[in-house]
Amino acid sequence: MRSLSQYLDYFINRFDANYQQFFKEVFNPGWPNNFYLVVVLILVFFILERIFPWRKQQKILRKGIGLDLFYTAFNYIIIWFFGGYALCDLAALLFHDAVNSTFGYVDFKLSNIGLLPSWIQLLLMFLYIDFFSYLGHVLMHKIPFLWKLHKVHHATEELDVFNAGKGHIIENFVYTLILYIPLAIIGFNVADTFIISIIIYTFSIFTHCNINIPLGPFKYIFNNPQMHIWHHDKGIRGKTGVNFGDALSLWDFFFTTAYLPEEDDGKNLELGFKNYKTYPKGFLMQQIQPFIELFKKS
């Protein structure tokens, strides 16, 4: 095993590499460029909301849009580029070193999946990440403290393109660690995960949009705004939640957590959760609130 200082140096070096890459992309527009790809995705869906509005009475400058814009920048840009990959790399290194010191393996991986064609690896990676995103989302609703963290995402009365990036900082790190560290252990190339995360993030933006693009029978495979809005329904929370899928809705239909009533299109639902009106409306207080609620219960 390496020393603590060696692990710290490794993390700092990975962190610095991500930091440098981030600013390189910000100040050097071009293709491929992950930073501007995220910006373009948000802009495209924002325009689609204007062309195909679902809830026509919803204002463009809705209540809380400034806070959600900040969350989008903070979580999907700053946290991911500055901390996500570095933590994943460090955790994967710790795991490999622990296995090597115990069993003497030189290069421990659970499979040779990295030898498969790239498109098969990406497809398997997509299914893995989306499935475990579904399971993680279910746990966020089932486990009391995780729900306290996840409430930040549900602290909104209206959905649009900027809601997808709203979430507690700890929740985002937990998702990052749970989803991406095992990829390296299984044998995937972790550097490729950003391709998949962009695809899934695209669906995440789409499902929160105030947009009406019917998918027909494909709704049983892909998530969509008309399905996901029921996940944010204030009344559904009492039933422990529904429609947890991220990019794919098929997990919900397979595990019977899907809810899509034919008699109600859902566009006039009251969103949020019980006592939402008294929930903090600022960024810092929303980050602190889960711990306030935790200590109140203890």
pLDDT, one tens digit per residue, over 8-35 is: 998 889 888 878 877 887 888 777 677 7
pTM, full prediction:
0.86
pLDDT of residue 106: 53
- Note every long-range contact of 13-19, with CB atoms under 8 Å and residues 24 or more positions apart, other chains counting: 14/85, 14/86, 14/89, 14/90, 15/82, 15/83, 15/86, 18/81, 18/82, 18/83, 18/84, 18/85, 18/86, 19/81, 19/82
pLDDT of residue 45: 95
The region that residue 212 occupies, defined by phi over 0 for left and psi between -120 and 50 for alpha, beta otherwise, is beta
What is the spatial distance between Cα 294 and Cα 297, in angstroms, rounded to a whole number?
5
Q: Cis peptide before 32, with omega less than 30 degrees from 0?
A: yes
Q: Output the CA angle 211-220-167, nearest 5 degrees.
A: 55
Residue whose structure tokens are 């859902």: 266
**Residue numbers in the chain where pLDDT is lower than 70:** 32, 80-85, 103-112, 114, 180-181, 184-185, 187, 189-194, 237-239, 297-298
Please give the residue range of the domain that contains residue 81: 4-297
Q: What dihedral do alpha carbons 283, 287, 290, 292 form, nearest 10°? A: -90
Q: What is the DSSP letter of 183?
A: H
pLDDT of residue 284: 95
What is the spatial distance between Cα 254 and Cα 200, in angstroms, rounded to a whole number?
19
Count CA atoms within 13 Å of residue 26 on its CB side.
Answer: 10
Q: How many domains does the chain have?
A: 1
What is the spatial distance between Cα 260 and Cα 272, in angstroms, rounded to a whole number?
18
Show Cβ contacts of residue 237 under 8 Å, excluding neighbours closer than 6 positions. 141, 154, 273, 274
Q: Do residues 100 and 106 make contact, with C-beta atoms less than 8 angstroms apart?
A: yes
